[in-house]
Amino acid sequence: MDIKNKPSDLNKVRILGIESSCDETAASVIENGRVMISNIVATQIAIHMKYGGVFPEVASRQHVRTIYAVLDQALEQAHMSLADIDAIAVTRGPGLAGSLVVGLNAAKGLAYGRGLPLIGINHLEGHIYSAWVYPQDTPNPPPAPVFPILALLVSGGHTELNLITDHLHYQRLGATLDDAAGEAFDKVARLIGLPYPGGPSVQKAAVEGNPEAFTFPRARLDGTWNFSFSGLKTAVLREVRKLETENRILPVNNLAASFQAAVVDTLFTKTMKAAREYGVKEIVVAGGVSANRVLRDAFLNQQEFAVHIPPLNLCTDNAAMIGAAGYYHYIQGQRDPLDLDVNPTWPLS
């Protein structure tokens, strides 16, 4: 059945979203796929900072400690109980297996205990739908999506371009052949002595730097829609070693700014080229790296395409995005069995 022609009794569909794919434990209540009634996120950044990245076993144990408190807070913030919920949407993958299991098992328990539908959601799909979520008291909600849409997904684990022809219909055009953009930010941050997480650290340092101080490579990969950031990372490493050999103080701000400029230029140029090639009407930029100010400005300042980028609090992992995507699966009739298993490498398309 066409989503646009659903019966009127679905006018108040409320989905409880659950997200635990990496190091955020999150729960949210979403109405009709867009209205955010509540959104709770328990982050583990401070815990993993000493490791310089996410420690999987520590992450899963922390999810166990916090999952039910987060769920209670999400329902309390929404002034609802499970009796007011129509379905439970939960991240099935991709992500860390141990972390995913915690969220999925919590969702199964609630679904079984209350007789609610269970819907497994792809984490990447959630990031896309976060672009159209807004708080319930928003006076001027963002417009609904107009297809076809080109989605640039940029995060710590993924960098890919997807053509979206309608709700839940995806075609992956290209992806990173090595490091994801967010992964490159983390690795380069360590190289130049900045703390984890690398994205915010590099952006902060870059504010006082010159993006033209160093000429770092842009891997164009002409003829494909793929990305590559390993060469850029290696170029930064070589520059750092050269400076250290010369006993010079690292120009951290300039290195950060020049690296960031190379990443943004690569992402923006290839996305715009693909948008023109496929004749899309809109562009979505989502995932943790979409919080980067320079990247946001690049897309928002161009005039060719309407652009949707989630607000900063929905760029990183959250459950509002899972509830939003879950709504569209729910009204299309998806109902998953209680023996549903996690899929840590689940592709979007």
pLDDT digits (tens, 9 = 90+) for 89-116: 999 999 999 999 999 999 999 999 999 9
Instruction: Give every CB contact of residue 259 below 8 A, 6+ residues apart in sequence.
Output: 188, 202, 206, 214, 216, 232, 236
Confidence of residue 349 (pLDDT cuts 50, 70, 90): confident
SS3 291: helix
Residue 92 lies in a domain: yes
pLDDT digits (tens, 9 = 90+) for 256-312: 999 999 999 999 999 999 999 999 999 999 999 999 999 999 999 999 999 999 999
Q: For residue 272, what is the domain's CATH number?
A: 3.30.420.40
Shared-domain flag, residues 164 and 296: yes
Shared-domain flag, residues 28 and 45: yes
Shared-domain flag, residues 285 and 190: yes
pLDDT digits (tens, 9 = 90+) for 51-80: 888 889 999 999 999 999 999 999 999 999
Q: What mean pLDDT is predicted for residues 325-333?
A: 98
pLDDT digits (tens, 9 = 90+) for 235-255: 999 999 999 999 899 999 999
Shared-domain flag, residues 48 and 104: yes
Residue 335 above 70 pLDDT? yes
Confidence of residue 6 (pLDDT cuts 50, 70, 90): very low
Residue 139 lies in a domain: no
Confidence of residue 3 (pLDDT cuts 50, 70, 90): very low
Percent of the chain residues topping a pLDDT of 70: 97
Shared-domain flag, residues 50 and 20: yes
Shared-domain flag, residues 248 and 189: yes
Residue 349 lies in a domain: no
Shared-domain flag, residues 35 and 90: yes
Residue 348 lies in a domain: no
Separation CA 113–CA 115 (nearest Å): 6
Strand segments, DSSP code E, in the chain are 14-19, 24-31, 35-43, 87-93, 118-122, 134-135, 149-154, 159-166, 169-175, 282-286, 306-308
Shared-domain flag, residues 89 and 217: no
Shared-domain flag, residues 156 and 287: yes
pLDDT digits (tens, 9 = 90+) for 13-34: 999 999 999 999 999 999 999 9
Residue 178 lies in a domain: yes
Shared-domain flag, residues 182 and 254: yes
Residue 347 lies in a domain: no
Q: How many domains does the chain have?
A: 2
**Counting beta carbons within 10 angstroms of the beta carbon of residue 243, is it exposed (0 to 12), middle (13 to 18) or buried (19 or more)?**
middle
Separation CA 323–CA 134 (nearest Å): 12
Separation CA 181–CA 122 (nearest Å): 20
pLDDT digits (tens, 9 = 90+) for 136-183: 999 989 899 999 999 999 999 999 999 999 999 999 999 999 999 999
Residue 141 lies in a domain: no
Residue 215: what pLDDT?
A: 96
CA neighbor of 195 nearest in space, from 22, 59, 49, 54: 49
Shared-domain flag, residues 157 and 293: yes
Residue 223 lies in a domain: yes
Residue 49: what pLDDT?
A: 86
Shared-domain flag, residues 183 and 303: yes
Torsion sign across C-alpha atoms 211, 213, 215, 217: negative
Q: Structural domain of residue 175, as residue ranges?
A: 149-309
